[in-house]
Structure formats: structure tokens, C-alpha cells
Amino acid sequence: MEAGAAPLLEMRGISKSFPGVRALREVDLELRSGEVLALVGENGAGKSTLIKVLAGAHAPDAGAVRIAGALRTVHDPVEAQRAGVAVIYQELNLVPGLTARENIFLGRERSRAGFLRARQEASEARGLFERIGVRVDPELPCSALTVAQQQAVEIAKALSSMARIIVMDEPSATLTPQEVARLFAIIRDLKAAGIGVIYISHRLDEVFEVADRVTVLRDGACVATRPIGAVRREELIELMVGRRLDQEFPKRRAAIGGERLAARDLRRGQAVRGVSLSVRSGEILGLTGLVGSGRTETARLLFGADRLDGGSIELDGRRLELRSPRDAIRAGIGLLTEDRKAQGLVLGRSPRENFGLPNLTRFSTAGLVREGRERAAFARRSAGLGIKLPPHEAAVRNLSGGNQQKVVLAKWLERDCEVLIFDEPTRGIDVGAKYEVYQLMNGLAARGKAILMVSSELPEVLGMSDRILVMHEGRVAGEIADARGATQERILELAVR
């Protein structure tokens, strides 16, 4: 930013409260032209609320917003768009049945004399895609595009509206490493064009790679803004969680015993082609690989969510016939799904009701759920896991990502499963909640449970695993018997061969 020039965006003294919750406390944020500002903090720190104030979805109780030096009162998202603000949410805001072109110009269609000028739109869309260096057919429906391509449509949509400020909320959550690299190249081009980018992410490696400065929120307040080169990773974590974490990955070596879960020659179409693995008592087995390698498909087979074409599964030497997840749960296997919102929780029900679902037989008498028994059990687990619950039994969708994950954990802990499959256990949760999940995994391993951890986060795989299996195109490409001597480079060699 030139000396004396006004910041592109100033948010001063922003406060916002909801019934029983003070979400923002006099927050200041400043964004410069051609800058990437990382916005970080734990789940519930106020990041989403602050962005919704900027986007016109929430009216602040106090504070002021200036864009390019001009005071702006943004009452709704349409006004925010007119002011040059575009927000790309983690759950992309596209109409799947419409084409890329139609999504880009939705609500701002190019027309003349009442007739749609589709050719003009297609030409402009191609120009926008060329500008950000991606190839997308403007006439393909968004339902046929990859997540990375859909994200490119969102960016093109923002550019078409002449956005000067683009907010990216967890943009890399479902991207492959190659797609993340492409995203960063796009961000560099946006910077060069003078566009300011607010980048929200729990992945600190990305923050240090892409950001110029970082603003940290904690408990609804801004605790620090620093140039990225002036803050260490450990210091940033401490600012986010308000305490020092001795280790980011607190791996303790449990006593590893005999084989608990054994899978032999698992097959399902082209997704899983002859996978064999075993997990021992007290062991955390890391299962990793690139997107599409068959990791999640293998986990689903072990949980009975998909039917085997061939192969066998044994638990403690006893062969299992898994026709459904119910069979796996009865056998003592629990699965924390990759997508907790779509598959792990019933979002419209309360946390307590979600907790009770796999445990109904424990809380029922003569087919009737004894709510008092269920409430008492949930209260114990909630206290033990530190789940932050609203004062009333609100729907679980209203909890932060970290607390939603803890509800999923609570139901399997109550079930006392012997084998736990953690599929992307820390996706979308903050560094403090991650630490708590890791501590919990260590505690389960110390009790002799067998843990299969499916993860695309290589630092997590290296930091938490006793042993690592790497998948490639539906097969196990290699095993690293002692994770302590492994490197990310070695894992990637196996993942791409």
C-alpha cells in the first residue's frame, strides 16, 4: 500500500451479540490492496460472524466498515456485492443444475431488449477463466465439475462482479495438493491485480505460505495482527488457543499388543482392489494417499457402509459378516466419517439426540427411550470432552465444527467400541480442538483400543501414527513400519508411484 493511501478495508470496533452469546467484541481488521490477510482462530472465535458482518448477512451492534476510505453501511449481501465484496464459502454457493456460465452471471444476466445474450456470457466466462489460469467449459453444469473447478467458478463469479475484496473460507479443505498449488497461483494473480484477499484456514502451513499478514481472533476479540514473517508457528498457535501447547502432535507410545482388526484382500469395483491391513491393540495405524486413492472407500467397507465384492474382515480372530453399519456397531467397530455433517450427524436434531443414536439399546426399556438416562450419560461425556453447548437444546448444526466432531466422538466413546476408524478426524477444526482429539486418541490407544486413522494431512499422519500404510489407485502401495523415521517425501513417493 502506498504511503498515505487508505486501506482497502477497515473494520473498526465491530461488536455483535446473539441471545446468550457475545460473538464479537470491538474487533478491528484492516486489509490492504494486493494483500493476503489470513484470519485465524479456534472454532467459535468469531471468524464466521465477522465475515458475515462484512458480507451483509449480519448487522453489527456497534462499529464501522470503510471500503477504500468510504464509510459503508451494508444491510444485505446485494449491497456488499455492490461495494465490491465477494465471499467464497467452504460450502460453495452454486446451483448444481445450472452451467458454469449461468452460475457466474446469475442475477446479473447479460441481456438486450429482454433477450439473454448467452454467447456474450460464454465469451466473458472464458475470459474470466483464462484470467485465473484454469480450463473450465462454461456450458458444463456445475454438478459435473470437480470441487476445484467449482471453486474457480466462484472466483470467476467474484471477478465478474468487479469484487475488490475476496474472502476465502477454508478454500483448500477438499482439494488435492496439486489443486491447492493451483489455488495459490490464482491468489498470487489476484494480489498482482490489486485485489485484497482474506484467507480463513485452520491449516497453518498454508497460512505461512500464502499470507502477508495474519489476524488472530480468540473468544470474539482480536488478540493480534502480525506480518507473517514476524510470527513463529508455535507463537501463532499460542495466540489462537490462549495457552501453550507442549507439542502440536502429542503422540505417546502405547504398549502395542496383538492383532485386533484384520482385513484380507478387500475388493469393491475399481475403488478398492485387494487391500489387506491389520490394526493391533494400542496401535494407531495411519492410512493415507492422494484424493481418489481409495482411503475412505476402504474405511466404509470396514464399517459395513458398502458391501464387499470380495475379501474378509476379522475382529479378534472372529470373521465378521458386515451387511450394514449396524452389524459393525454390534461387533464393536465405530466410524467417525469424513463428512460429519452429511454422514456423521443428523443436523436438525440436538447434540444429545445424536449422541444417543448408536446407544439407544442402552438408554431404552421396552422400546421406550429413557431420556433421563440419556441426558445423564451425555452430560458426563460432554463434561469429559469439553463440549461447548448452547443453553437450550439447539440443533447440532448450530455448534462449531470442533464441537460437532466432539459430539460424534462422544457417541462412539459411550458405545465403547474396540476398533475406532477416524476418517479425516481433524478436518475443519481448529488447532486447539485438534490437540484435544489427538489426546483422546492417545488415551484410547493406551486402553488397548485399535485405531485406524485415515488422513490426507501428512504432518498429522507422521505425528500421530505408529505405522503407516500408503494407498494408490485402490491398492496399498507401501508400508512404513516405524512412523518415527518417515518423511512427507517418502509418503508422497509411495502415493504417486
Look at the block and give the residue holding cell 457475545.
22
Q: What does the pLDDT read at residue 5? A: 65
Domains with residue ranges and CATH for the chain: 9-241 (3.40.50.300), 259-496 (3.40.50.300)
- Strand 62-67's sheet: what is its strand order? 21-31, 9-18, 62-67, 70-72
Cα(345)–Cα(213) distance, integer angstroms: 36
pTM for the full predicted model: 0.71
Q: What does the pLDDT read at residue 361? A: 84
Which residues of the chain are modeled with pLDDT < 70?
1-5, 174, 246, 497
Q: What does the pLDDT read at residue 329? A: 93
Look at the block and give the residue holding cell 466404509.
300
Cα(280)–Cα(358) distance, integer angstroms: 24
Q: What does the pLDDT read at residue 246? A: 66
Beta strand ranges found along 284-431 (DSSP E): 284-289, 310-315, 318-320, 333-336, 364-365, 368-369, 419-423
CA distances from 122 to 102, 139, 180, 255 (A): 9, 8, 26, 62
Beta strand ranges found along 181-293 (DSSP E): 196-200, 213-218, 221-227, 259-268, 272-280, 284-289
Q: What does the pLDDT read at residue 103? A: 92
Q: Which residues pair with 62 in a beta bridge?
A: 15
Q: Measured on CA atoms in the order 473, 479, 483, 486, is the torsion positive or negative? A: negative
Cα(270)–Cα(293) distance, integer angstroms: 10
Q: What does the pLDDT read at residue 4? A: 52
The string of DSSP codes covering 332-352 is: TEEEE-S-IIIII--TTS-HH
CA distances from 357 to 337, 364, 408, 451, 478 (A): 15, 11, 10, 22, 37
Length of the chain: 497
Written as nine digits, the cell of 481 is 513400519
